[in-house]
Chains A and B, each alone.
Chain A
Amino acid sequence: MNAQSKDINAAEAGTERRINMIEAINEALDVMLTRDPDVVVMGEDVGYFGGVFRCTAGLQEKHGKTRVFDTPINECGIIGVAVGMGAYGLRPVPEIQFADYIYPGLDQLISEAARLRYRSANEYIAPMTVRSPFGGGIFGGQTHSQSPESLFTHVAGLKTVIPATPYDAKGLLISCIEDNDPTIFFEPKRIYNGPFTGFYDKPVEPWKKHPDSVVPEGYYKIPLGKARHVQSGEALTVLAYGTMVHVAEAVCREKGIDADILDLRTLVPLDIEAIEASVEKTGRCLIVHEATRTSGFGAELSALVTERCFYHLEAPVERVTGFDTPYPHSLEWAYFPGPVRIGEAIDKILKD
C-alpha cells in the first residue's frame, strides 16, 4: 500500500490532515530545507514576506536569512546565480514570481543550466529547481496567465514538472529538489486553493473536499516521469496536466463519459508507457492543455500517439488548447479551453 492510498483510507476514517497546494509546496520546501543544508530558497518577495502566493511563508523565520532570501527583480540574475550556486554544491530552489516573468532568465536556463552537465562532461551540474506559478483563470491578463511549458520541454537537458494536486505538488517538488538535473516546476496557480473544474460560474470548491488534499507530514517523493492514473475508462484516453486535469475530469463526469484520464505530472521525462497502454486500450485520444496551440506540448503528444499507437487508433487524435493569442483580460473565459471546447472535442472523437 502506498502512502497515498494509506492516507486516503485515513481520510475516510476522518482522521486525515487536509491542506491546499500552497501549503503542500510550503511543506515540501520546509522539509527539504530541514533535511538538506545545501538547499536554498530565493526569489522576489520570497523572504520576509513569504511570497506573493504565500508559498514560502514562514520559511525565512524558521531557516534563516541565508537559506531563504529575497532577490533583486532580475530573473537573469536569479537563474544565473543559481547556476553558480549549483556549481559550488548547493541545491538552489529559485522562484520566478510568475512564469510570464521567466523570459529574461531563459539564456541562463537554456544555454547554461540545461547544458552544463553535458558541456563539462559531468564536471559541473545545475541541480536547481525553478518554481514558478503558471496558467490563467485568475484574471491575470497577458502577463500573469501564460503557460510557457513547451519552451522548456523543447530544451535538451531540462525536466518539466507540473503537479495537479496538493499530494503530488509536495511529492514531486521534493523529487525535483533532490534531482541532479535542472527542473522547471510549474505551479498551476488557478488550483492553488481548489481543484478548479472550468465551470467558472459555479462556486469554487476548496481542496478540503478532494481526496488528494490529504498530504502526509514530512518527507515523501513521487518519482519524476510517472503519470497519475486519474480514472480508468474505456471510451477514450484523456492526456492532461495541471489545471486541465480537473477540467477534463469534470467534463467527462458531467457528460457521463467513461474516460481513461492520465495526469502526466512530468512532461520531460514523459511516461510514454502509460500513454501507450491507455491509447492501445481505448483507441481514442484527447489532449488538453491551456497553453497556446501551435507548437504546444499537445503537438508533441499528438505526434507520439500517432507514431506509436497508430494501428490502435479509431479516430484522429484531438487537441483542446488555448487559442494562439495573448491571454486576454476581459475575455479570459472565452479564451480558456473550458467545458464547451473539451465537450465538443470529446463528441467528435467518439463520433468518428
Chain B
Amino acid sequence: MADMADPNPNRPALALHVPEPRSRPGDPVNFADVEVSEAGAQARPDEGCAPGEMKDLAYDLVRVLGDDDKAHGPWDPKLDPDTLRTMLGHMAMVRAFDERMFRGQRQGKTSFYMKCTGEEATSVASSMALASDDMVFPSYRQQGILIARGYPLIEMINQIYSNKGDKLKGRQLPIMYSSREHSFFSISGNLATQTPQAVGWAMASAIKGDSRIAATWVGEGSTAEGDFHSACTFATVYNAPVILNVINNQWAISSFSGFAGSERTTFAARALGYGLAGLRVDGNDALACYAAQQWAANRARANQGPTLIEYFTYRAEGHSTSDDPSGYRSAQEREEWPLGDPVMRLKNHLIAIGEWDEDRQAAMDKACAEEVKATTKEAEKNGILGHGLHHPFHTMFEDVFEELPWHLKEQAAQATKERKIKWPDQHPMDGAGK
C-alpha cells in the first residue's frame, strides 16, 4: 500500500466517526439519553401555522397519555369511548395476527413475515385520523392500516401464503399487499420509493381539485434514500396535500438510527430545511399518533401544506422472520424502552376513564386470536406456499404489459411445455399444481 501519511504533519489528524448504538448483545441498557417530555405540555398550533413558527415541535415529543393513563393537554383528540375501543380492538387484532403469521412462517407455511410489534399505534391510530378514501402509500410494516380499514383478514393470509386465493396472484413477497378498494397502494420491496409517489398522487388530487389527500409511511432508516429527499422537495415546492410519516423505530435490520443521522438531530427536524411542518410524536401513544395525523390531515385538506411527522417508537421484534435481533442488539432494550407498549397504554387509558376492564381485554384478546386462527384455517384451504395450490402458470406472463406481446407468448408456451415434463401428473393450467 502506498504511504498515505499526511504530507503536512503540522495539521491535526482527521478521524472518521462510525456510529455505534447504545448497546450490543449482553450489554446493560440505559435510555437516560432519551428525553421523555411531559404529556400534555406541548402547544398545539393552528393547522395553518407557518413551519418556521412551530420549530420546537420538531425537537420535542408530542404526548397525550401521561403516567396516570389519562389524556392531557391540547393534543388530546378527545375521542369518544367507542372510537377508543375500536382503536384498541384494531391494535389487538394486529398483534394477534402478527403472532399467528410469524408462527405460520416458522411452521413452513410461507417464506417470510414481518411483525410490527410495538408500533401498532403508528399505523392503526394514525390511519384512523384519515378519511377512508384518503390514499395511503405505506411501507411494509403498516398492516395496521389494512386492519383499521376493514380489509378482510383472509385476503391478507392468502397473500402471505401466495396461494390460489391470493389476489396478487402469488407474485409478491408476503405482506406486500395492495388494495385499491381500500385506497392502499401496492407495497414495494424497494425502500422509500413510495414517498415521491404519494406526493405525486397528492399533486394529482390537487390538479383535479379533488378533496382527498395522500399519506405515506417510511422507516427512519429509509429516510436516507434519495427518494425521501425527492418527496420532501416536491411536497414543499407544490405545497402538496400529503403527510409524510416517518416511523422511527430505531432499527433498520441491524443498523441503528444513527446510520440515518439520528445522532445529530431528529427526523422531524428534516422538515425544517424544506419548509415543511414538522411534528415529533410519541409513537407508542395512540392518542398522540391520532392527534398528529389529524392535525396534518386538516392542514393538507385546507391547502395549507404538507407535514412531516416523526413517530418515536421502538421495533420490539426483529426486522422480519429472516433476522435474529439477539445477534446485534441487547435484549434488555425492549424491557427498558421508556415509552412503553402502545396496546397496554391505550388499554390502561380506557380502564382509567372507566370504559374498559381486564376481563373485557382478555375476552377481546381471545376473540382476536380465535378469529385469526379460524381465518387461517380457512385460508389454508386455498393452499400454503410451496404446497401446490397456486395461480395457473399462464398468470406468470400476464400484467407485464396490458397485452401479451409476441415474445411473452413464446415464453409462456415454453413454460407450459416445461410443466408437462416437470409435473406430468397434473392438468395443465388448472391452477392446482406446482
Which residues of A are in contact with B by a Cβ distance under 8 Å?
Answer: 40, 66-67, 71-72, 74, 76-77, 80-90, 92, 104, 107-108, 111-112, 116-125, 156-157, 159, 179-181, 225, 268-270, 272
Contacts and interface: CB of A to CB of B under 8 A. Distances in A.
Interface size, B (range): 35 or more
A88 B180 CA distance: 10
B203 interface: yes
A54 to B, nearest CB: 24
A84 B198 contact: yes
Interface in B206-260: 206-208, 214, 226-227, 229-231, 233-234, 237
A81 B197 contact: yes
Contacts of B198: 84
A88 B205 contact: yes
Contacts of A123: 178-180, 186
Main secondary structure of the interface of A (DSSP, over half): mixed
Interface in B179-203: 179-180, 185-186, 188, 190, 193, 195-203
B196 A108 contact: yes
Given A87-B201, A159-B401, 18 more contacts: A72-B237, A76-B226, A76-B230, A77-B227, A77-B230, A80-B196, A80-B231, A81-B197, A83-B200, A86-B200, A88-B135, A107-B227, A111-B193, A116-B186, A117-B401, A119-B171, A120-B186, A121-B169
19 contacts: A40-B207, A77-B230, A77-B233, A80-B200, A81-B199, A82-B200, A83-B197, A83-B200, A84-B137, A84-B198, A85-B203, A87-B185, A88-B200, A112-B197, A117-B402, A120-B180, A157-B401, A181-B402, A270-B406
B193 A107 contact: yes
B399 A90 contact: no
Contact of A112 (B167, B190, B199, B237): B190
A121 B400 contact: no
B204 interface: yes
A120 B177 CA distance: 8
B400 to A, nearest CB: 5
Q: Quick one: which of B171, B204, B406, B407 has the most chain A CB within 10 A?
A: B204
A253 B401 CA distance: 39
A157 B180 CA distance: 20
B346 interface: no
Given A118-B171, A121-B167, A77 B205 contact: no
Contacts of B168: 119-121
B176 interface: yes
B406 A111 contact: no
Contacts of B214: 84
Nearest to A268: B405
Nearest to B193: A112
A317 to B, nearest CB: 19
Interface of B: 135, 137, 167-169, 171-172, 176, 178-180, 185-186, 188, 190, 193, 195-208, 214, 226-227, 229-231, 233-234, 237, 399-402, 405-407
A83 B135 CA distance: 14
Given A120-B168, A121-B169, A121-B399, A77 B207 contact: no
B186 A84 contact: no
A140 B334 CA distance: 57
Nearest to A125: B402
Contacts of A67: 207
A74 B226 CA distance: 9
A80 B205 contact: no
A19 B6 CA distance: 63
Contacts of A40: 204, 207
B190 A107 contact: yes
- In the A-B complex, the 10 residue pairs with the smallest Cβ-Cβ separation, listed nearest first, are A84-B200, A80-B196, A81-B200, A77-B230, A88-B204, A84-B197, A120-B186, A84-B201, A269-B405, A120-B178
Contacts of A80: 193, 195-197, 199-200, 227, 230-231, 234
Contacts of B230: 72, 74, 76-77, 80-81
